[in-house]
Amino acid sequence: MKLVWFRRDLRVKDNPALHEACKTGEPTIALYTATPEQWKQHDLSPRQADFIQRRLEVLRNDLAALNIPLLFKVVDDFSGLPAYLAEVCQQYQVSDVYCNIDYEFDEVDRDNAVAGTLSLTRTGFHAFHGKCILPPGSVLTGGGKSFQVFTPFKRAWLKLVQSTDYSPVKPPLPISPTALTKALIEDAKEIDLRYWYEDSVSWPVDDNTIIQRLRDYCSYRVTSYDALRDIPSEPATSQLSAYLAIGAISPRQCLARLLTEHPNAFDDSKQGPQVWLSELIWREFYQHVTASNPSLSKGKACLSWESNIEWKHDEILFERWKQGKTGVPIVDAGMRQLNETGWMHNRLRMIVASFLVKDLHIDWRWGERYFMQKLIDGDFAANNGGWQWSASVGLDAQPYFRIFNPFTQSKKFDPEGIFIRRWVKELENIPEKFIHDPYHKNYGSDVSLSYPKPIVDHALRERRHFPFSKLPRITP
Ligand code: FAD
């Protein structure tokens, strides 16, 4: 018997571990283990938990069509997994376990512990790369080191990918059923992750809809990605991140579809398909960085000078930021979108992150955790990378300190305030001239609103940027 252990790869298509197990033609079972205590420590959002739970029901049906039953078990945390996997393997006489690798420190540790325990009974443990287009460790500098900056990484990635077989693996063929696999399929019980749930129903989980979303995006909207991707009121980005985060689709499927529609996507022009590919490469970059730098999973910053910064631990300001009540409309619009939907536009993620760190002087780790607790697409590597970049403590080619002016950003990317009005109802009807900064001193005292006044003075904060004062900086 073979066993495929599913984690962040909740799909049947382009799943290397499943593909390899099925290739043997032997009876196969699948397993998903919920680890609620561990997830709590990792700040898994209740919305993503709900999304995973719904997706598991789909996966179970897809696997049943291949005559593979999906077993489900709640084990409090990772420490209980080696014993549980050993027990299952013994119960079903499993000779080999197959899985796709997660690159975060605790996850690597988990797999090492499980592999070690299984080796005592000579059960094979086979781990594959299914999370990236090119596996971590394969894109290296001429000196064989990991890249620390995105642009050279991208250049090397583009060169390597074109000499690699990056096509998705073939969908597995059904395995011959046995009395046991048939009985296990019939015995399927309701899946309950024993975690908090927050409604994720606006994100469909069936394969047809997800694949159609990718197809539609690559055939139409991607062509205007370069022009519109920074405008939060436009549906210009793919909104595929939630699916990539739990592995409901793979990055190879995304690349394959993009190239089918735009065979020139690898060239170095700055058109929509090329820019979208660049974002997929950012995703790869952060996965590779996470894999090669375990200290990131332990809360460390990439740049050592961060340890000299005295962050403020102001719970009151933090609460106002979380609730979208900072008095800075574009920040509040972004935070309210996050709180209500579990997703936030990338431009706004950068603006609200910069505001928390550079205006409120609050530790970026607080923001990083809050995002994970709320996001439907929460993914350690992308989130940690995004926060470290925004806090200017991460892997950024800029040798200066980047401070976003939220009012300038607002005027540039939401000029008519369409997005702000959508999420900040108190400002729905105010004239366009007030929308970005309703209490600006030049407007006099004629604005009377239920909307809060700004909790900090951006200009003052920028000038008195005490923790960072020794660094050259710019204001984009
Ligand atoms: P598209 O614009 O359509 O891009 C396609 C795909 O590329 C995305 O689905 C995503 O997988 C990847 N991608 C795009 N931009 C980035 C990026 N900057 N870094 C890494 N991958 C990227 N993304 C997450 O998936 N999970 C997170 O937890 C997360 N946290 C973030 C936190 C901060 C502070 C910042 C600044 C960014 C964060 N991002 C995160 C990256 C980015 O904001 C989202 O991936 C993007 O908004 C998702 O929308 P989309 O699917 O429409 O993206």
CATH code of the domain containing 274: 1.25.40.80
List of residues 6+ apart from 472 with CB closer than 8 A: 399, 400, 401
**Is the predicted pLDDT of residue 184 greater than 90, yes or no?**
yes
Tally of structural domains, the chain: 3
Residue nearest to atom 3 of ligand 1 (CA): 238
**412 and 335, same structural domain?**
yes
**The pLDDT of residue 462:** 66
Alpha-helical (H) ranges within 298-342 are 315-323, 329-341
Q: What is the pLDDT of residues 236-288, one digit of tens each?
A: 999 999 999 999 999 999 999 999 999 999 998 999 999 999 999 999 999 99
Closest ligand 1 atom to Cα of 350:
36
- End residue of a domain, out of 292, 327, 361: 292
Which candidate, 42, 110, 121, 124, places its Cα nearest to that of 82?
110
Alpha-carbon distance of 365 to 136, in angstroms, equals: 25
**85 and 48, same structural domain?**
yes
pLDDT (average), residues 194-220: 97
Distance of CA 177 from the midpoint of ligand 1 (Å): 40
pLDDT (average), residues 30-52: 98
| Cα–Cα distance list, 12 to 18, 218, 378 (Å) | 7, 22, 22
Q: In terms of residue numbers, what domain contains 99?
A: 1-130
Residue 401's SS3 state is strand
- 127's enclosing H/E stretch is strand 124-128
Residue 10 lies in a domain: yes
pLDDT (average), residues 172-196: 95
Please tell me if the CB atom of residue 426 comes closer than 6 angstroms to any atom of ligand 1: no
Pick 464 or 182 by higher pLDDT.
182
Residue 67 lies in a domain: yes
Residue 177 lies in a domain: no
Q: Which position has the token pair 């998903």?
A: 32
- 237's enclosing H/E stretch is none
**The pLDDT of residue 458:** 84
What CATH number has the domain bearing residue 369?
Answer: 1.10.579.10
Is residue 203 annotated as a catalytic residue, yes or no? no
Which candidate, 206, 239, 202, 232, places its Cα nearest to that of 341?
202
250, HSE (Cβ side, Cα atoms, 13 Å): 26
Is residue 311 annotated as a catalytic residue, yes or no? yes
**Is the predicted pLDDT of residue 444 greater than 90, yes or no?**
no
Average pLDDT along the chain: 93
Please tell me if the CB atom of residue 325 comes closer than 6 angstroms to any atom of ligand 1: no
Residue 449 lies in a domain: yes
Which candidate, 175, 173, 178, 141, places its Cα nearest to that of 157?
141
Q: Is 355 exposed, middle or buried (0-12, 13-18, 19+ CB in 10 A)?
A: buried
- End residue of a domain, out of 255, 271, 292: 292
Residues belonging to the binding site are 225, 237-241, 276, 279-286, 377-379
**246 and 308, same structural domain?**
no
What pLDDT band is residue 459 in, cutting at 50, 70 and 90?
confident
pLDDT (average), residues 162-182: 95
Residue 170 lies in a domain: no
**322 and 223, same structural domain?**
no
Alpha-carbon distance of 465 to 458, in angstroms, equals: 10
- Per DSSP, 195 falls in state S
Amino acid present at 367: G
**269 and 330, same structural domain?**
no
**356 and 386, same structural domain?**
yes
Strands 28-34 and 70-74: parallel
**Is the predicted pLDDT of residue 445 greater than 60, yes or no?**
no
Residue 312's SS3 state is strand
Pick 461 or 345 by higher pLDDT.
345
- End residue of a domain, out of 99, 130, 161: 130
Residue 167 lies in a domain: no
Alpha-carbon distance of 468 to 114, in angstroms, equals: 44
Alpha-helical (H) ranges within 9-168 are 16-23, 36-41, 46-64, 81-91, 105-119, 150-161
**The pLDDT of residue 278:** 98
**Is the predicted pLDDT of residue 476 greater than 60, yes or no?**
no
Residue 388 lies in a domain: yes
Contact 238, 279 (CB under 8 A): no
Residue 207's SS3 state is helix
Please tell me if the CB atom of residue 277 comes closer than 6 angstroms to any atom of ligand 1: no
**The pLDDT of residue 448:** 66
Which candidate, 456, 293, 439, 431, places its Cα nearest to that of 361?
456
Residue 158 lies in a domain: no
ipTM over 0.90: yes
Distance of CA 87 from the midpoint of ligand 1 (Å): 38
Task: State both tokens at 166.
Answer: 């990056």
**The pLDDT of residue 400:** 59
**260 and 308, same structural domain?**
no
Alpha-carbon distance of 272 to 262, in angstroms, equals: 10
pLDDT (average), residues 99-107: 98
**256 and 399, same structural domain?**
no
**The pLDDT of residue 473:** 43
Residues belonging to the binding site for FAD are 225, 237-241, 276, 279-286, 377-379
Please tell me if the CB atom of residue 387 comes closer than 6 angstroms to any atom of ligand 1: yes
**Is the predicted pLDDT of residue 472 greater than 50, yes or no?**
no
**233 and 109, same structural domain?**
no
What pLDDT band is residue 475 in, cutting at 50, 70 and 90?
very low
pLDDT (average), residues 113-137: 98
**388 and 333, same structural domain?**
yes
What CATH number has the domain bearing residue 74?
Answer: 3.40.50.620
Q: Is 228 exposed, middle or buried (0-12, 13-18, 19+ CB in 10 A)?
A: middle
Amino acid present at 254: C
Q: What is the pLDDT of residues 386-405, one digit of tens each?
A: 999 999 888 876 655 678 99
Task: Give the least confident one: 75-84, 344-353, 442-451.
Answer: 442-451
Contact 418, 329 (CB under 8 A): no
Task: Give the least confident one: 213-217, 359-363, 412-416, 456-460.
Answer: 456-460
- 280's enclosing H/E stretch is helix 272-292
**The pLDDT of residue 29:** 98
**355 and 239, same structural domain?**
no
**Is the predicted pLDDT of residue 474 greater than 50, yes or no?**
no
Share of the chain above pLDDT 70, in %: 94
**Is the predicted pLDDT of residue 142 greater than 90, yes or no?**
yes
**99 and 23, same structural domain?**
yes
